[in-house]
Chains A and B, each alone.
Chain A
Amino acid sequence: MLVVTRKLDEAIVIGDGIEVRVLRIGRDSIRLGVTAQPNVPVHRAEIYEQIRRANAAAAADAGTLTALVTRLRDDAPEPPEE
């Protein structure tokens, strides 16, 4: 792991044009500004991990999925009234 010390309003640049800047330093947290192209997704690590686990729990192979859907159809909410 690369470890860099940065002060308020200093930044690092990652690769081609991704900038991470220290915007504010608090007692328990710091505020970072990330500048990147729109096609570069930036996620909070704990949210990404939470969704990774949820996706793993939801994934099935095609065979079990058919059985799952058949079973769940009895359990599904009614369609909204028109």
Chain B
Amino acid sequence: MSQPAHAVVEFREGLPGFEACRQFVILSGPAVEPFTIVQGLGPDAPAFAAIDPLRVVDGYRARLEPADLARLGAADATPLVFLALVSAQPSGRATVNLRAPLVINPETLRGIQLLGAESAHAVDHPLRAA
């Protein structure tokens, strides 16, 4: 993708800690690649840097329950977009939350943060292997 692209995605439940913010602009493009900017709309809305988890861990997979698909308005075969939030640690290293990725249905423009009971992935996976 060479053109900047953006879309407004609705997170009906908000994100844990930011429950009041329901709409996020998803920005990607050459200026921020390989990252994606997830910018909340409204006063005091948070913004995040995010990355496709597949860029961080080969073969990354996250398990979605039928209720998750229902909240996304998605069918089993709907292609979904996964974005893991990036944190800059005080040490200067960056980590990626692979435990609870954002999952977006580009067809309905609805998103959730996946809080499954079990996950093999860490909330603070290193962005880049040491």
Contact = CB atoms under 8 A, between A and B. Distances in A.
Nearest to A61: B47
A62 B123 contact: no
Contacts of A80: 54-55, 58
Nearest to B97: A54
B97 A43 contact: no
B47 A59 contact: yes
A75 B128 contact: yes
A50 B12 CA distance: 20
Interface of A: 38-39, 41, 43-44, 47-62, 65, 68-69, 71-73, 75-77, 79-80
A39 B68 CA distance: 9
A72 B46 contact: no
Contact of A54 (B12, B51, B58, B99): B99
B67 to A, nearest CB: 5
Report the contact-size class of chain B (Cβ under 8 Å from the partner): 35 or more
A54 B127 contact: no
B88 A68 contact: yes
A69 B37 contact: yes
A72 B16 contact: no
A54 to B, nearest CB: 4
B88 A47 contact: no
B17 A56 contact: yes
B35 interface: yes
7 contacts: A39-B71, A60-B88, A72-B86, A73-B32, A76-B34, A77-B127, A79-B55
B6 to A, nearest CB: 13
A62 to B, nearest CB: 5
A68 to B, nearest CB: 5
A38 B48 CA distance: 27
B33 to A, nearest CB: 8
